[in-house]
Structure 1
Amino acid sequence: MILQFSLTVPEAKAIIAKGAASLPEVKKALESGKIFLKGGTTVSRFAEELINKKLGICGRITPLGTKGPKYATLDAPHSIVIEKGEIRTADDCEEEEVLKLGRNDLFVIGANAIDINGNAAILAGSPLGGGPGKILGGLMAEGVQILILAGLEKLIPTDITTAIKACGRRRVDISFGMAVGLIPIVGKLITEQIAVELLADVKCTVIAKGGIGGAEGATTMVVEGREEEVKKIFNLVKSIKGSVHSGSEKSIEECINFGVGCKEDLACIYRKDYIKRI
């Protein structure tokens, strides 16, 4: 049996969250270990799947460019740790919490760029990459399992190494939003295509990208397999249709002129002290 369907970006994130939640290592860490969730809209959707809670969103890309949150204090933690059913914020103690992670624990993060080789990277607009920039290198050196949740709308038409060399907070002269660099991440990547194949015994093939009327960035896929397996995906797609981006309500609002992070943002044309350079 063959099924064709299209997923908007938020719907794809819902599928990714469900696929990631089905992983044996996630179930094991939930039962007897720890899961560190670093906030982003895809990871927030994963948090909803696991504990029915949304995370606070910090950096984001909007029609205006690379922006931060409007408010200095968010209405939900940006990063949390789940340990044997208990939930605690990690916003002010990221390094301490990461150092507690063992080989059977998980660190879960999103990505802003992925390439066709499965490499991933996140954007960084804060000095030294903020919290993630300070812990990611050491985290990978410690041998902790890293789960990267990223939709195929993040697929870039070059390799991650080339993209990293092209950007940088101090390389950019003028920017719509904060100037950013890229930090590479090495881990297990879950896209909507991979998630579908985790959730049923089917072969999933991406046949188109993009759309209009709210389907900009959408992924159109075909799945093939036994009828009972294909029907699992059919029912799943029906159940997540109409999904919206995940994130706490207050944190979704983006910064305005001279917002809370502007003192550290570089090259942003929206700053009040911006001087026209072109």
Structure 2
Amino acid sequence: MHRIQITLTPAEAKRIIAKAIAALPEVRDALAQGAIFLKGGSTASAVAEEFGFPALHLSGRISPRGTLGAAVSPDIPHNGLIRNGSLVSADDDTVTIVRNLGRGDIIITGANAVDSEGNAAMMAGAEGGGNPGAAWGAFSTEGASVIIAAGTEKLIPGSIRDAVSAAGRKGVDVSTGMAVGLLPVFGRLITEREALEILAPVRATVIGAGGITGGEGSSVIVIEGEQFDTRKVFDLVLSIKGTELSGAAESAGECRGPNSRCGLHRSCIYAQGGG
């Protein structure tokens, strides 16, 4: 038995997760014969790039200033549909697109919160979760397989049930950024730990997390297996070391209020001229 230790930043973990998702047989089958819906986010964007498509537009995010949206909405897909070798925008007709998915198709979404039981939820700053929120029920009802791509940095203390109960767009008096609710999402959760075990016949154990000077949110993982397999993992990690967050460059700027889009959100201190 051979043992190695690796450290992954959140951006690196997202790349590892994307590589593992792209390698799954059911995802390869959907790529060849079905459809893959990408719910916009930085990990879904990394999946798009893994398949050779451009990065997705990133909308909502948690930044040092709080829970914010993008400064602009460029003509770049946020949600995407991969079918017949092409990626097209799924932003304007999200509900219809998701409802038309079925057995053999794949939905890939991120999450903003994961609990110790593997339950997950995504933040929603727009009313009803916007277009994806309107399609949320069809994530579960139409037969498509849902993959939740979320790093261990998303682990919260307590339960998703309690978090959903505490969160809400309404009833928050003031917020650093938009007040958000939580949409529970059900599916197969893949963190960097599961991803590494998909990519090689190894055992991955997270032994620590955190970081400073750019390493915030990192995971420290021990990999155990045959030397050939652990070396494969080590070389893969080295190949993506220092990778940047996936997302269209136009997404980098974040919302600064007050502005014309502030009416879409609630309780934001910046919309009130603060901060």
Give the shorter-chain TM-score range. over 0.9
Offset, 1:51: 2.3
Corresponding position of 2:151: 151
Offset, 1:68: 0.4
Corresponding position of 2:42: 41
Write the mapping of 1:247-258 to structure 2, written as runs, cut at 5 A. Answer: 247-258=247-258
Write the mapping of 1:19-168 to structure 2, written as runs, cut at 5 A. Answer: 19-71=20-72, 73-168=73-168
CA RMSD, aligned part only? 1.3
Offset, 1:131: 1.4
Corresponding position of 1:180: 180
Offset, 1:38: 1.2
In the alignment, the residues of structure 2 paired with residue 260 and residue 58 of structure 1 have an alpha-carbon distance, to the nearest angstrom, of 16
Corresponding position of 1:221: 221
Residue identity opposite 1:46 in structure 2: V
Identity %: 47
Corresponding position of 1:206: 206
In the alignment, the residues of structure 2 paired with residue 17 and residue 74 of structure 1 have an alpha-carbon distance, to the nearest angstrom, of 24
Question: Which runs of 5 or more structure 1 residues have no equivalent in the other structure?
Answer: none
Q: Residue 246 of structure 2: SS of its match in structure 1?
A: coil
In the alignment, the residues of structure 1 paired with residue 24 and residue 159 of structure 2 have an alpha-carbon distance, to the nearest angstrom, of 27
Offset, 1:52: 3.3
Residue identity opposite 2:31 in structure 1: L
Offset, 1:114: 0.5
Corresponding position of 1:237: 237
Aligned length: 274
Q: CA offsets, 1:5-44, max 9 Å, x none?
A: 1011100111000111111110000010000111101111
In the alignment, the residues of structure 1 paired with residue 156 and residue 255 of structure 2 have an alpha-carbon distance, to the nearest angstrom, of 26
Residue identity opposite 1:15 in structure 2: I
Offset, 1:260: 4.8
In the alignment, the residues of structure 1 paired with residue 191 and residue 273 of structure 2 have an alpha-carbon distance, to the nearest angstrom, of 40
Corresponding position of 1:14: 15
In the alignment, the residues of structure 1 paired with residue 159 and residue 74 of structure 2 have an alpha-carbon distance, to the nearest angstrom, of 34
In the alignment, the residues of structure 2 paired with residue 238 and residue 23 of structure 1 have an alpha-carbon distance, to the nearest angstrom, of 22
Residue identity opposite 2:194 in structure 1: I
Q: Residue 169 of structure 1: SS of its match in structure 2?
A: coil
Question: Which runs of 5 or more structure 2 residues have no equivalent in the other structure?
Answer: none
Residue identity opposite 1:245 in structure 2: L
Offset, 1:153: 0.4
Distance change in 2, residues 1:227/1:161 (3 Å): same
TM-score for the superposition, normalised by structure 2: 0.97
Offset, 1:263: 0.7
Offset, 1:213: 1.4
In the alignment, the residues of structure 1 paired with residue 251 and residue 93 of structure 2 have an alpha-carbon distance, to the nearest angstrom, of 20
Distance change in 2, residues 1:178/1:22 (3 Å): same
TM-score for the superposition, normalised by structure 1: 0.96
Contact kept? 2:99, 2:135, Cα under 8 Å: no
